[in-house]
Chain A
Amino acid sequence: MPSSLSAFFAGLRASFLSVFVLVLVGTYIGIGALAHDYGFGLDWIMASTVLVWAGPSQVIMISALGAGAGLLETAIAVGLSCVRFLPMVVALLPLIRGPQTRTRDLLIPAHFTAASMWVESFRLLPAVPIERRVAYCNGLGIGFMLSGQIGCVIGYFLTASLPPLLTAALLFLTPMSFLVSTARNARSLADRLALVFGLIVCPILVYADIGLDLMWTGIIAGSLAYGIHRLRGARR
């Protein structure tokens, strides 16, 4: 990759070869159809895909606004569902950042950070020269966003409303793809345990009606996994 531009296109190309193209097109068909059902404009839903860029959070936002929820209430629900991006960005940045990278160059890759880009970055970036990773990530992010937009348009213009079973299958793409792609990337003991503990802890917290369930899931399950990783390391 001789230049940043070629790195950008390499990232773009990688995005189209990723299985996440299918996931994103499918997920956003569901989101486009949902937005249409609630009477939002296509320009609005496409702008939301650029600005929010988080499938599950967009579903929350559209359903809440569409059902007539208040703006503050909606903003809080969206904000809570996006807390996950804080640790995701913190974990990803050291991989993207070279010695010469300026902080402002990291803002765009940070905005592109979503589950798709996050898991694929951990898989693909190690093979990319460190000084080209920002450009590569931007290509990856743009490519994924493009897939999402294509899905939005298809979903919006599907003349007959989607059959409920198909809508259910599209919504199921998110948990299914998150699970297997996170499992594929989880090579260390800490990551594997965090995945298993997170799956167990979160439903318990929700059933117990504890607020901020996603945040507490991250802290409790993540720290537990980390603690076991440390104990194993200390014994060796």
Chain B
Amino acid sequence: MSGYDGLWGYLVLVLVGFLPCDIWRMLGVVVGRGIDEESELLVWVRAVATAVLAGVIAKIVFFPPGALTMIPLPVRLTAIACGFVAFLLARRSVFVGLAIGETVLLTAGFVLAR
């Protein structure tokens, strides 16, 4: 057992999961209330949001969590690059990009593990 069972577990979940996460979403509602859809400020906010998502991507690829560490960095980079090129070639199909990226990762991981 994790030690986070029953009511205590739910309390911990609210304190360390729900609140730290949703405070940003609710702050977004407050901050975003007055912003016009056509405003330049929104172009900047969108760019910031996109850059943060890019940061999440880069962070997982360069500093992976858990089992992904067993795949060497060059393989992770090759797989994500192959997926991206496949996505472009397949007329921006997210599915194709995902399928090719995963296939490259799994194949390379399988070969390396032998």
Contacts and interface: CB of A to CB of B under 8 A. Distances in A.
Interface of B: 1-2, 4-5, 9-10, 12-29, 31-33, 35-37, 40, 42-68, 70-71, 76, 79-80, 83-84, 87, 92, 94-95, 97-98, 101-102, 105-106, 109-110, 113
B9 to A, nearest CB: 5
A231 interface: no
Interface in A20-67: 22-23, 34, 38-41, 44, 47-48, 51-54, 56-61, 63, 65-66
B98 A173 contact: yes
A58 B10 contact: no
A214 B113 CA distance: 33
A79 B23 contact: yes
A177 B98 contact: yes
B46 A191 contact: yes
B44 A85 contact: no
Contact of A214 (B32, B56, B65, B106): B56
Interface residues of A, number: 101
B106 to A, nearest CB: 5
A2 interface: no
Contacts of B4: 40, 44, 65
B68 to A, nearest CB: 4
